[in-house]
Amino acid sequence: MIGRMMRNSVKNSKKQSTLAKTARTDGSLTLVATPIGNASDISLRALDTLRTADLIFCEDTRQTQKLLMMHGITGKKLVAAHAHNESHAASKILAEVEAGKQVAYASDAGLPLISDPGETIMQVMIDAGASVTSIPGANAALTALQLSGLPPLPFYFAGFLPPKTKARCDALKLLEKIPATLIFYEAPHRLSETLGDMLHVLGDRKAATARELTKMHEEIQRGTLATLFADAEKQERIRGECVILVAPYSPETEQHDDADETDALLLQALKTLSPRDAAFDVAAKTGQQRRALYQRILELKK
Ligand code: SAM
């Protein structure tokens, strides 16, 4: 019995080593995670893969070239594969892999596919039964979640919201009752309007913003949607890439909806009106007392 097991195990290990050889000589695609700010945040395996790849497809050849140079990797052939040519690039990648090449794919920052190109490439590879693997690494959503102070699990990663207010509010409405920490990516110039829409649709929940992660001016702000919105409104120009995180839905947060709605209206009015006029404006819209609204404005400004 033991003899048979040993014979089987020798047979299996022979089979495995043949498989390992096949895996080494067959072509394959490797998705490579790159830094989200700090150039040192790249794994040894990622660098090794980039160094030894026959061909590197990337979102922006200049960006990837810069990264390679920083790590002393020279003489590599880079080919662009971005949102506008992804289907075409996917066919090229598949042809290279089928010809036995080791191909790497990197987006500009973080994980390919995660609010970045790569989905079509992956689909084409999977449909063709080609070999694909991924080297993990930096990711803005999860780094922000770790630092946010909000419940880490469950979380719901929504990526970028639509850029126009109506579509953004419609998208937020669909997420309103998810009992999970919500994670969004946002461009700095849209931060304040997006926080305003979140306050309006989701109510005044605990929230956090994470800017410039892994960089010298990394900044995490923790508060509520109202305080973060008021803060963003005060700033003339917000710099740096940003992640917004919002606490999970709970039935208790819903009870504050009326107050949140009023705060959202006041903050919206304050964008163009003085505190006095904003109180008048919202009093006219909601039938609430102007004096109480003015007091609330003073609190929000604090
Ligand atoms: N693939 C990337 C990843 O795995 O995180 C995301 C790329 S997506 C095009 C870029 C967005 O990610 C930015 O607009 C911002 O919301 C977020 N982001 C990327 N780097 C960041 C950083 N260093 N700090 C904060 N947010 C960042």
* 153 lies in the same domain as 220: yes
Distance in angstroms (rounded) separating the CA atoms of residues 117 and 104: 14
Q: Is the CB of 161 within 6 Å of ligand 1? A: no
Q: Whole-number mean pLDDT of the chain?
A: 89
Taking residues 14-42, report their average pLDDT: 75
> Looking at residue 25, what is its pLDDT?
56
* 225 lies in the same domain as 265: no
275 has pLDDT over 70: yes
* 156 lies in the same domain as 125: no
* 212 lies in the same domain as 278: no
> Does 58 reside within a domain?
yes
* 100 lies in the same domain as 184: no
Q: Which domain holds residue 148?
A: 141-250
* 103 lies in the same domain as 64: yes
Pocket test for ligand 1, best of 157, 243, 244 (most atoms within 8 A of CB): 243
Q: Whose CA is nearest to atom 13 of ligand 1?
A: 241
* 33 lies in the same domain as 57: yes
218 phi and psi angles, rounded to 5 deg: -55, 135
Q: Is the CB of 115 within 6 Å of ligand 1? A: yes
Q: Quick one: pLDDT band at residue 17, thresholds 50, 70, 90?
A: very low
Q: Which atom of ligand 1 is nearest to the CA of 185?
A: 16
Q: Is the CB of 214 within 6 Å of ligand 1? A: yes
* 106 lies in the same domain as 174: no
> Does 4 reside within a domain?
no
* 151 lies in the same domain as 229: yes
pLDDT per residue over 128-154, tens digit each? Answer: 999 999 999 999 999 999 999 999 999
pLDDT per residue over 75-89, tens digit each? Answer: 999 999 999 999 999
Distance in angstroms (rounded) separating the CA atoms of residues 296 and 302: 10
Residue 10 CA, ligand 1 centroid: distance in Å: 48
Q: Whose CA is nearest to atom 20 of ligand 1?
A: 36
Q: Is the CB of 185 within 6 Å of ligand 1? A: yes
> Does 18 reside within a domain?
no
CATH code for the domain in which residue 224 is found? 3.30.950.10
Q: Is the CB of 242 within 6 Å of ligand 1? A: yes
Q: Is the CB of 119 within 6 Å of ligand 1? A: no
- Closest-CA residue to 177 (of 251, 227, 113, 125): 251
Q: Which atom of ligand 1 is nearest to the CA of 141?
A: 5
Q: How far is CA 174 from CA 59, 201, 207, in A?
A: 31, 10, 18
CA-CA-CA-CA dihedral for 91, 93, 98, 102, to nearest 10: 180
Beta-carbon-side half-sphere exposure of residue 224 (alpha carbons within 13 Å)? 14
Total of domains in the chain: 3
Q: Is the CB of 63 within 6 Å of ligand 1? A: no
